[in-house]
Amino acid sequence: MASSTATKSHPYHMVNPSPWPATGTLAAFSLAIGGIWFMHGGPGWAIAPGFAILFATFYFWWRDVVRESRAGDHTEAVNHGLRVGFLLFIASEVMFFVAFFWAYFNASQPLINAAAHVKWPPEGITPFYAWGLPFLNTLILLTSGATITVAHHAVRLGHRKELVFWTGATACLGILFLCLQAFEYSHAAFGFSSGGIYSSTFFMATGFHGFHVFVGTCFLIVCFFRARAGDFSPQKHVGFEAAAWYWHFVDVVWLFLFICIYWLGSLGYTGHYGH
């Protein structure tokens, strides 16, 4: 009687009680308090406890999810829910970037309306030369989109060595992109608040994209080690699939950034670019 009662009669996974949502909340609260303290003249270590709790929460929560998958708890119905949930998350991220593009286009109406009597970029702003470092970063991200696609085909075919290699290659390209963007920022001719609405929208849009590249690179590094451990198979690789989708999203956002902000946004500049 007891065994028949315990038999699961549905394809869904009932998650065991977990402390990680509570610790995640504690991490967010600690980061908020530490960040406010730091921005009001507090010490730099004020935000360290929040980050420590946050990273610990990430590690142990994802560890438990991997264990659930290995235990067979992720049925096809569960995997379908994970895929739909992640696609909805990407949709929310799309709207996040729409807000920044909206702000940029609203501020750059002279770029769209030639009859406007305001220059864009504004006077005193020397924009980045679109066909220099930004274009190189575009080629890097486009190449990474190809390598992650090759890795995706490899996992579907069960080619583990190719999966590991191309996932690692994609992560390396992500790191290279971040290094070049950091170099670009260090040589910017304007600061976050020194160029008015142009500089603030530029750094918010490109900076948050860089943060997403960082998150996606971490995602890929985790997938790299999971692939080496044999966690993925042609039948079960939702974690890798989510990483690939996220990386393609990052690629597409960058294409819009390059075209709209770096290229079109600098067409009104008639001065000389720095070297």
Distance CA 253, CA 174 (A): 14
Q: Work out the mean pLDDT of the chain and round it to a whole number.
A: 89
Among 1-5, 53-57, 133-137, 271-275, which stretch is predicted with the lowest mean pLDDT?
A: 1-5
Residue 196 has a pLDDT of: 79
Mean pLDDT of 205-212: 95
- Are the CB atoms for 80 and 238 separated by under 8 Å? no
Residue 274 has a pLDDT of: 57
- For the cut 90, the answer to whether the pLDDT of residue 198 exceeds it is no
Mean pLDDT of 60-67: 90
- For the cut 80, the answer to whether the pLDDT of residue 112 exceeds it is no
Residue 71 has a pLDDT of: 85
Q: pLDDT tens digit string along 46-63? A: 999 999 999 999 999 989
Residue 90 has a pLDDT of: 96
Among 5-14, 72-81, 220-229, 245-254, which stretch is predicted with the lowest mean pLDDT?
A: 5-14
Mean pLDDT of 6-17: 78
When pLDDT is cut at 50, 70 and 90, the band that residue 125 belongs to is confident
Q: pLDDT tens digit string along 228-244? A: 999 999 988 999 999 99
Q: pLDDT tens digit string along 93-103? A: 999 999 999 98
Q: Is 123 exposed, middle or buried (0-12, 13-18, 19+ CB in 10 A)?
A: exposed
Distance CA 154, CA 162 (A): 6
Domains of the chain plus CATH, in order, are 18-73 (1.10.287.70), 83-266 (1.20.120.80)
Mean pLDDT of 107-121: 63
> Longest Cα pair distance anywhere in the chain, in angstroms?
83
- For the cut 90, the answer to whether the pLDDT of residue 108 exceeds it is no
User: What amino acid occupies position 36?
Assistant: I
Mean pLDDT of 188-196: 81
- For the cut 60, the answer to whether the pLDDT of residue 34 exceeds it is yes
Distance CA 199, CA 196 (A): 6
